[in-house]
Amino acid sequence: MVRWTGFNKYNICTGSRDKQKTHFMKGYGQFCPVAKATEILGERWTLLVVRELLCGSRHFNDLRRGVPLMSPTLLSLRLKQLKRAGIVEHEPDRRNKQGVAYHLTAAGHELMPLVMMLGNWGQRWARSELKRDDLDPGLLMWDMHRRLNTDKLPAQRTVLQFEFRDVPTRKRFWWLVIKRDEVDVCLKRPGYDVDVTITTRLKTLAAVWIGDISLRDAVKQGLIDVQGPSQLTRQLDSWLALSPFAKIIPATAPPHVSGPRDKAH
């Protein structure tokens, strides 16, 4: 179970609500199955919404964490389109009687290999240097919290503090609060003692996350500073898992990460 605390909302203009309809994109006029599938999945943001559902997000606000630049109106529209296509269903939320929980149908789950292959292809062939507009500390924390190996951490509560030195003050500090299989992502200080502090640049940790540089090398080169008890820090790379695409070798060399200006301090 995961919860989110202190999320900053980002919206984009999607036009008048009166113009929003649940129809799909204009058809290609072809009976080809690829064309028919693209009519459903080729709309902007649609595959990223499917990605979030495949990653385990079930509630509207959790889905928004994975697509922070998508407006609530557009997300609602895409969910309606996916429901109409038989890819998504929803039911009353057991945690919140006034809310709903979304889940994939059999047709939706069949998209898993497609999304994974698309990610593999993107990691191998669509790589470019990480740009400032591509980096969002909230999205990185949301991605990372889903990949924590909580069984490698103590049974008691463990608190990780991340400091991004190249990020404005209001989004510089983040906390992951782990207790067994529950992980909370916090932008505000959670009120518990911190067990491990990780200080670095946002660009550096993102590069580690996607596999451009190993975590051990980043720490060894001084790009990431880790402080905490040795029983936790020496096993950092066993419980802080990376992107599922991190092991895919790019067709071209990954962008340069290390250097004097990349130092954590």
Prediction pTM value: 0.83
Domain extent at residue 72: 2-110
125, part of any domain = no
Residue 181 has pLDDT above 90, yes or no: no
pLDDT at 22: 55
- DSSP strand pairing (2-5 vs 158-164): unpaired
120 belongs to a structural domain = no
pLDDT of residue 96: 74
Average pLDDT, the chain: 87
Is 29 contained in some domain? Answer: yes
The total number of structural domains that make up the chain: 2
User: pLDDT digit string (tens) for 15-66?
Assistant: 444 344 556 667 889 999 999 999 999 999 999 999 999 999 999 999 999 9
Q: pLDDT-derived band of residue 263, with 50, 70 and 90 as boundaries? A: low
Q: Could you report the per-residue pLDDT of 67-85, keeping only the tens digit for each?
A: 999 999 999 999 999 999 9
Nearest residue to 175 via CA among 153, 193, 190, 156: 190
Residue 138 sits in the same domain as residue 106: no
Indicate whether 119 belongs to any domain: no
Q: What is the pLDDT of residue 1?
A: 47
pLDDT at 7: 38
| Whether residue 134 has pLDDT greater than 80 | yes
pLDDT, residue 113, reads 98
Question: Among 75, 110, 145, which residue terminates a domain?
Answer: 110
Instruction: Give the model confidence (pLDDT) of 200-232 as tens digits.
Output: 999 999 999 999 999 999 999 999 999 999 999
Q: What is the dihedral of CA 45, 54, 56, 239, to 10 degrees?
A: -110
68: domain CATH number is 1.10.10.10
Nearest one of 94, 69, 90, 68 to 79, comparing CA atoms: 90
Is the domain of 155 the same as that of 211?
yes
Burial 81-105 (b: 16+ CB within 10 A, else e): bbeebebbeeeeeeeeeeeebbebe
pLDDT of residue 71: 97
